[in-house]
Amino acid sequence: MSSVKEVFKISFQLLAQQTDNVIKDFLRLTKDFMDNGPNSSLYNKAAEKLQIDEDKIISIVKSICLMCVQSCKHKLTDLEIKESLTEYGFNETKLDMIILFFENQKPYLLDILSSSALVFPHFKELEWRFETDMGSRSLLHQTVPVVTLKLDLEKKGISESLFLQTNPLNLVHIKDTLEAALKQNQSQWIRKIRRKLK
């Protein structure tokens, strides 16, 4: 059994030998694969038309798909992709076609990849309302200031609303703490870390 790397290599070498129009067809097949999943009747037709095994057609489609996903994962630039594909024998026009296809698919791929990554609930929106408690069963007359908060968090496109409350003193404390944390981002130490890790 050949490794993924070998299949990838053979598929791209085979693709490089095809005419521009055939490459266009392959890119169209890949788009269909990304959008709707595998479609054997399409591959069957293509195999008959090009006189290539259906398995090889499928390998080429999957290899193009893999190339796009890996390029997204490694955040490769167009130039880097071109350089890595030249070794399979693509000419300039064919490379441009592949790059154009990749650029078109990139936003969708990034979207799918980000949503499959480890995701915490993200802050989305905060609404607040200032109220005063006027009376309760246990205390008929009172004036207790209350700040009611609606905190919206978002996780993988699903948002969740949390209803909370606090008093003015705590609100000021929360504001001060988070404001200080935000300022911390500009400190020399953080800048140094950012430079070292880039």
Partner 1 sequence: MNISTEIELGLKRLCNPALINDKCFQTLLQKAEKILGTLLDDTSEQTFDNDSTVCITSKQDIAKEAYASLITLFIIANRHCLDGKSLNQNLQTIVLANTDRLSEIIKTYESVRPRLLEVSKITTTSLANVVDVECRLDYCVQSSVFDDVSEFLYKVRLKTIDNGTIKFIDFVCNIQELQELVFKLKDAVRHLEKIASAS
Which residues in 55-94 contact partner 1 (CB under 8 A)? 73-75
For the chain, how many helices (H) and strands (E)?
A: 8, 3
Q: Is residue 2 involved in binding partner 1 (CB under 8 A)? A: no
The residues, ordered by sequence, that sit 6+ positions from 53 with a Cβ below 8 Å of its Cβ are 47
Tell me whether residue 5 or residue 183 sits nearer to partner 1 (CB atom).
183
Rounded to the nearest whole angstrom, what is the least distance from the CB of residue 140 to partner 1 in the complex? 6
Q: Which of 4, 100, 134, 164 binds partner 1 (CB under 8 A)?
A: 164
Residue recorded with tokens 């293509």: 46
> Phi/psi class of residue 187: alpha, beta or left (left: φ > 0; alpha: ψ in -120 to 50)?
beta
| Nearest alpha carbon to residue 147 among 124, 163, 125, 123 | 163
Binder of partner 1 out of 4, 100, 134, 190 (CB under 8 A)? 190
181 lines the binding site for partner 1 (CB under 8 A):
yes
109 near partner 1, judged by CB under 8 A: no
Contact status: 117 vs partner 1 (CB under 8 A): yes
